[in-house]
Amino acid sequence: MPDSWKVTEVINTADESGRIEAWEITLTRVADGVTVGVFLPKVAIESAAVACGLASTDEAIDMLMHRAVHPIYEPNLPEPNPWQMSADEARAAVLERVERCKRDHATVETTVPKARTAAARKAADVLAPLRSHVRIDPVKVAAVRLEQQRALLQSGA
């Protein structure tokens, strides 16, 4: 049975220079209290969505949180380069990787908790700061990804 992880803390922060706004996220394994710290620049959610062709903020958050714990279980599993694939292939590859992690190793609870009111759900959602910071627009993501791929082709990369 896969391990269960919870996001237990999200702190608004920045890098040492103060120029890169970020979150410090603590993931805790429910079974034994082991923690993993994640430094996540605020631009990472939208950047991950663009690179991997993801369609929503929740999908990007879920991918990023599972990416943080997956190396604990499969430290030598190579990370595919989404820029060497079409958007559909990149999305399929990253979602398959998340599902592999969930099926074989660990699940990270990233869904919005159930509650009677929207205010109660938001108060119980430790990931609310991430969700409220960026909204993924699938059309914008596709357009930005095409521009990035065009720039890569022009540069010869």
Reported as a pLDDT band with limits 50, 70 and 90, residue 157 is low
- List pLDDT tens digits, range 84-139: 999 999 999 999 999 999 999 999 998 877 767 766 766 788 999 998 888 898 89
**Residue 106, token pair as written in the block:** 């660990």
Query: Which of 102, 34, 43, 41 is closest to 67 using CA atoms?
Result: 102
pTM above 0.75, yes or no: yes
- List pLDDT tens digits, range 13-59: 999 999 999 999 999 999 999 999 999 999 999 999 999 999 899 99
- The side-by-side arrangement of strands in the sheet containing 35-41 is 35-41, 21-29, 3-14, 106-109
The amino acid occupying position 87 is: A
Can you tell me whether residue 18 is helix, strand or coil?
coil
CA dihedral 141, 145, 147, 152 (to 10 degrees): 160
First-residue to last-residue Cα distance in the chain: 42
pLDDT at 99: 96
Q: In this structure, are residues 127 and 61 in contact, taking their beta carbons and an 8 Å threshold?
A: yes
Q: What is the C-alpha separation between 48 and 64, in angstroms, rounded?
A: 8
